Structure 1
């Protein structure tokens, strides 16, 4: 069984570091506890004064919505539970309810009048400054599927105050429909990139199940609020890591690429059958793991670019992110004839760690102060230079902290309870 790859600020990251040039191990030198290093470190690998000494990636912080460790054997049992009436039309009202995976709501929507979810109190601390936000509805992991429409409505109300775009990672636990229904009920300006998290070793079970529920969601809600359909999340990273391979365009990589490309082609066929060939189909992967054959097969690529895992100082983090994305991902896309649009799928900074050993990356600390610095030095600048990015992430995720520890559960702009952390969202002019 192939497990989803997990970046971890531990010394066990050798499989990923092996791909790059002379990375140094994660972990803080003794006594490095300040938010910003007293003496910024000098790096050598990139040959630039603000670059990390290696490209130690830069890979996705989120996990498959519905593919948790030990859960692959259960995947084939879930899909039939999502069966809703199909209406081939765009949704123009919220008159039809959507079934959720839980009968109760952990966070009911807050409406300011009897008009329902479309009328809600705006938080003056929230500013619509982010190009996009990476989002997974709470409770969207198999086999439990504890999400609910009320909770997703609350999330969409909050998200709409900081962005007009969100991306999902997978389609299990009915999350595609829940998000589209929440957008319909709140009537906010929001586009969503739907996701299909695929697994190389399950003979297409996860892909097919999620493809079918994505199709149902599109038939029910139309595509007015759909920015694209993303097939795969870190598929090539996972495939190469499992095989112990490093050549992005070698025989092993191309074998994995063929699996992913077949799924991409199948998704295109589905969209064509629906008369929606104009809807973009892409993939998401670690920033240094885009195979040429895959890039030639997509309309867009989404690259996870994380300065934390490149061991940068916080002062260097934003500039490093911009440079890596431009030199690695944008350049790779420009080299193929179809020139797919490239996005940063994830970038951000953790605000905490559940253990002291993981509290720094060796150069800077996981803290709200550093999250603030990264926002202040990246968000408005990226907007101004036209970088399309999805900030990682919407909220802290308890299940990741419980399962993986370290900084894994602490990447949100919002706490688990959906209150904004002790940061100020930058206002971009």
Structure 2
């Protein structure tokens, strides 16, 4: 598949994750850096037509605390004297929800002790299964991948035609975040990605969107996605070329070098833009100055090579600053209402308001800069989250579930399509390896996909059809 031979790359130790258990038909193992249990492995993650922020009405929507959670969200409702209530979203005026937080200090301490013991047992069990030769999960091998790829699937293959005719899928997403299976270095050396597996994925994704976002360049993932697009003759499909950055200089140099090889080989035509780095400021892997220098170098080289592609970096919505916007063409903000502790029926309005107040406002006076929500989504199960507060019951705050996922999509997807908001839905497929980051009551890390790991639309999940309107 091209320009990079992973066997020639030294292991730079950039994973920062527990080794993954392999064996399912689809299992992504891309590392998204060091995060706490509520955010580990989740790359958080549209256009300029969103409009300027509406002033200070939503200023109480706070920044994340060090654990990665947004501060508790005030109840919505008309502002009155001393009430602390906030004006309702213009999107969703029917909502009127508030969240009460009870602080159980003694219970929390006990819970921490219990969680620690359980997590230790879970991680130990995962590692034991990883190294146990009698494990029921069979590891992907170069030979198994070679067998899968004996016939290069195309749009005329019966298997592909079946995947591309799913009446339950609708092309209503401007973009989708996508992590191809087994594209985490150095795991891909022993469990390599399969071209046909990625071609199958792209067949499914072509019914949902015309743009996919990648997070890195390792293990030939970009080349394989481009090959899939060619084999499926997806003339409208574009790729956002992703470059993974972290605190390891070897990783960064390798990713950037491969980016240039990809662009030198393919030119700019297959791509919609280049996203250099994801949440490096949130993780504190790079300083704003160091990130700005990398972005500036990439932009200069794109110009020198006559490659007319916009450059972006993505970070949490409240990690963006006016200074950082000077180094990009597109401000990409990862905004997840689930971690703010809002109810599902308030989530769409909260997302819009947060984005306007924290990010759109930064470039409202600069028409040359555009804004994209680079990640937004909802988990289909695993518990509930109350922001930085403690949930008193299992129904407080943001509840993970199919019903709640349907509610958020119903409110957000078609509204965004109607008003031209550009965003990437997080994410296409579940990533079962992320179970290692789950903790009791917070077992959602592996459940953010529209589909399960084997490309099946989740039972009970409804992709909105938006009255037949489709994303361009």
2 CA distance for matches of 1:376 and 1:310? 19
Does residue 1:23 correspond to 2:68, yes or no? no
- Alignment partner, residue 247 of structure 1: none
Partner SS state of residue 17, structure 1 = coil
- Alignment partner, residue 193 of structure 2: 147
2 CA distance for matches of 1:345 and 1:262? 22
- Alignment partner, residue 47 of structure 1: 86
Identify which of structures 1 and 2 has the higher relative contact order when contacts are C-alpha pairs closer than 8 Å and 6+ apart.
Answer: 2
Does residue 1:297 correspond to 2:345, yes or no? no
- The C-alpha deviation readout for 1:334-370, integer Å capped at 9, x for no partner, is 25x4742110111111001289999968313211111
2 CA distance for matches of 1:192 and 1:22? 30
1 CA distance for matches of 2:162 and 2:210? 17
Does residue 1:104 correspond to 2:144, yes or no? yes
- Alignment partner, residue 462 of structure 2: 424
Partner SS state of residue 216, structure 1 = helix
Structure 1 segment 371-410 matched on structure 2, within 5 A: 371-405=405-439, 406-410=443-447
Structure 1 segment 226-245 matched on structure 2, within 5 A: 226-239=271-284
- Alignment partner, residue 353 of structure 1: 382
1 CA distance for matches of 2:211 and 2:398? 30
Give the unaligned 5+ runs of structure 2: 1-12, 17-32, 40-62, 78-82, 90-95, 100-139
Provide the aligned length of Structure 1 versus Structure 2: 349
- Alignment partner, residue 176 of structure 1: 222
Structure 1 segment 81-96 matched on structure 2, within 5 A: none
1 CA distance for matches of 2:398 and 2:291? 36
CA drift of 1:313 comes to: 0.6
CA drift of 1:307 comes to: 0.6
2 CA distance for matches of 1:347 and 1:360? 23
Over alpha carbons, which structure has the higher Rg?
A: 2
Partner SS state of residue 277, structure 2 = strand
1 CA distance for matches of 2:141 and 2:361? 42
Contact 1:169 1:194 in 2 (8 A): yes
Deviates more, 1:265-274 or 1:359-368: 359-368
Give the unaligned 5+ runs of structure 1: 26-39, 55-99, 243-254
- Alignment partner, residue 319 of structure 1: 349
CA drift of 1:219 comes to: 2.3
1 CA distance for matches of 2:363 and 2:171? 29
- The C-alpha deviation readout for 1:42-94, integer Å capped at 9, x for no partner, is 6887823469989xxxxxxxxxxxxxxxxxxxxxxxxxxxxxxxxxxxxxxxx
The alignment's C-alpha RMSD in Å is: 3.7
